[in-house]
């Protein structure tokens, strides 16, 4: 009797040592940042070689459910829908019989949860009768459950660390893109005896796809432009930054020619975006001595000129840039501006802003607003427009980037 008790005690000590050593090995592998395949191989060795279970399957959820480990099972894993077939199990369960084919091939299912989220399901075959008593001291199945929990949670933590690293990298890229985008816009816009120029821009997210610019060409000639890129985010901001740099470069090294400029910009957008994005664009060249303005509207919302009463749309031009390898036509519009004429440029975030009744703010409402408050300075006019836009949308969010660029030539 004493010998049997001594033998049982020695067995329990050996089991405790085995479990402790196994846990230490697994913990060491995790702390040394071993690969997922190395950690699962260690888990497989412990379960199969040291505990004697030669058929088990471990399903694990990363972005999607997948079979992380498969030992001794010849069934069709691809036919298993984990959410449908296994998600009803919330705790370790003995499988007596089931309508689910894969469950009939195993004795026990061990769900693994972390923060109330199912991370894995371990199916084990070859469990003897005594091992089915989960409360039995030194039960190997209970130990396997502990081991599986440690490994699966470690894999999940590693995945979340990668996600957090990616999010942090993306956040930093957004900061860089946001800073870069702010550099696109002119630092100062003139307000003097010749002209009064003002602009206002609100991106929907950290970075947007709208751009406007004011470029003096000597003392009496000026370029005004506005653009909107299809799509949002960092890629849109990068494309627009490249677009702005190309415009500035062309004005620096080439004699101004509207048709040449548009062809070069179209080629640049096609090369940069590879047909995945396009840019709507409006550009005007104004000579303050002759008061003549030439312009091209490349698929952009029609800017308008007004004297407070009469309104004209600036609709001559071409298709959006980057839509085709070559622009099929380019029509250059011509206007002679009378003293005290105002030009208003805007992006579709203004006119396509919806209220709670799903009604657009619309171009007509914008024109009426400008004419009603025509004597205002351009900065005050833009502030008023944005105030009216806020009233229009009410509690709703902006649906797009929103830009207004207003110029009055005296």
Give the pLDDT of residue 317. 95
Tell me if domain 2-160 and domain 177-409 are identical in fold: no
Give the pLDDT of residue 132. 62
Which tokens go with 215? 């470029």
Give the pLDDT of residue 82. 93
How many other CB atoms sit within 10 Å of the CB of residue 407? 25
Give the pLDDT of residue 401. 82
CA distance readout (Å), 331 to 212, 244, 262, 294, 316: 21, 22, 11, 10, 6
Three-state SS annotation for 267-298: HHHHHHHCCCCCEEEEEEEEECCCCEEEEEEE
Q: What is the CATH number of domain 177-409?
A: 3.60.40.10
Residues 139-167: tens digit of each pLDDT: 788 889 989 999 998 888 888 888 888 77
Give the pLDDT of residue 97. 81
Q: Which residues lie below 8 Å from residue 396, measured CB to CB, with a gap of 6+?
A: 354, 355, 356
* Cβ–Cβ under 8 Å, residues 314 and 305: yes
Give the pLDDT of residue 207. 64
Q: How confident is the prediction along the chain (410 residues), in pLDDT tens digits per residue?
A: 555 555 555 555 565 667 777 777 888 888 888 888 899 999 999 998 888 899 999 999 988 899 999 999 988 888 899 999 999 999 999 988 888 889 989 999 999 998 888 999 999 998 876 666 665 555 788 889 989 999 998 888 888 888 888 778 777 766 776 676 667 678 789 889 889 999 998 877 666 678 899 999 888 899 999 999 887 767 777 788 788 888 888 877 656 788 989 999 999 999 888 878 999 999 999 999 999 999 999 999 999 999 988 999 999 999 999 999 999 999 999 999 999 999 999 998 999 999 999 999 999 999 999 999 999 999 999 999 999 999 999 988 777 788 999 999 99
H or E stretch covering 178: helix 140-184
Residues 129-146: tens digit of each pLDDT: 666 666 555 578 888 998
CATH T-level topology, domain 2-160: Beta-Lactamase (3.30.450)
Cα–Cα distance, 179 to 273 (Å, whole number)? 22
The DSSP output letter for 165 is H
Cα–Cα distance, 316 to 324 (Å, whole number)? 18
Give the pLDDT of residue 140. 85
Give the pLDDT of residue 7. 54
Instruction: Kindly report the pTM of this predicted structure.
Output: 0.61
Cα–Cα distance, 79 to 398 (Å, whole number)? 44
Give the pLDDT of residue 382. 94
* Cβ–Cβ under 8 Å, residues 262 and 280: no
Domain extent listing, the chain: 2-160, 177-409
Give the pLDDT of residue 224. 94
């Amino acid at each position: 009797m004493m010998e049997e008790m001594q033998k049982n005690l020695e067995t329990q000590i050996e089991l405790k040592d085995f479990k402790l050593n196994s846990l230490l090995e697994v913990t060491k592998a995790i702390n040394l940042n071993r690969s997922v395949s190395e950690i699962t191989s260690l888990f497989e060795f412990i379960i199969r070689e040291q505990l004697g279970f030669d058929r088990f399957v471990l399903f694990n959820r990363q972005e999607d459910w997948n079979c992380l480990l498969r030992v001794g099972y010849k069934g069709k894993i691809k036919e298993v829908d984990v959410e449908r077939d296994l998600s009803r199990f919330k705790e370790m369960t003995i499988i007596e019989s089931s309508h689910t084919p894969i469950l009939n091939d195993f004795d026990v299912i061990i769900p693994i949860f972390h923060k109330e989220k199912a991370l894995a399901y371990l199916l084990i075959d070859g469990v003897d009768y005594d091992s089915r008593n989960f409360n039995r001291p030194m039960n190997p199945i209970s130990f396997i459950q502990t081991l599986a929990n440690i490994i699966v949670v470690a894999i999940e933590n590693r995945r979340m660390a990668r996600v957090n690293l990616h999010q942090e990298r993306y956040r930093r890229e957004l900061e860089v893109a946001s800073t870069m985008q702010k550099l696109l816009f002119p630092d100062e816009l003139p307000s003097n005896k010749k002209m009064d120029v003002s602009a206002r821009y609100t991106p929907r997210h950290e970075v947007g796809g709208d751009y406007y610019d004011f470029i003096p060409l000597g003392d009496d000639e000026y370029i005004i432009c506005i653009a909107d890129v299809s799509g949002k985010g960092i890629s849109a901001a990068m494309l627009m930054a490249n677009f702005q740099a190309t415009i500035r470069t062309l004005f620096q090294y080439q004699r101004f020619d509207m048709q040449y400029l548009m062809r070069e910009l179209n080629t640049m957008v096609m090369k940069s975006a590879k047909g995945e994005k396009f840019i709507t664009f409006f550009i005007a060249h104004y000579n303050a001595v002759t008061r003549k303005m030439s312009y091209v509207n490349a698929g952009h919302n029609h800017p308008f000129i007004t004297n407070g009463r009469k309104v004209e749309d600036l609709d001559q031009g071409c298709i959006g840039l980057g839509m085709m390898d070559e622009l099929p036509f380019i029509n250059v519009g011509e206007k002679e501006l009378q003293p005290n004429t105002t030009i208003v440029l805007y992006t579709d975030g203004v006119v396509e802003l919806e209220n709670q009744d799903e009604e657009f703010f619309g171009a007509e409402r914008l024109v009426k607003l400008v004419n009603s408050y025509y004597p205002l300075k351009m900065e005050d006019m833009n502030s008023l427009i944005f105030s009216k836009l806020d009233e229009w949308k009410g509690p709703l969010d902006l649906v797009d980037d929103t830009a207004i660029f207003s110029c009055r030539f005296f």
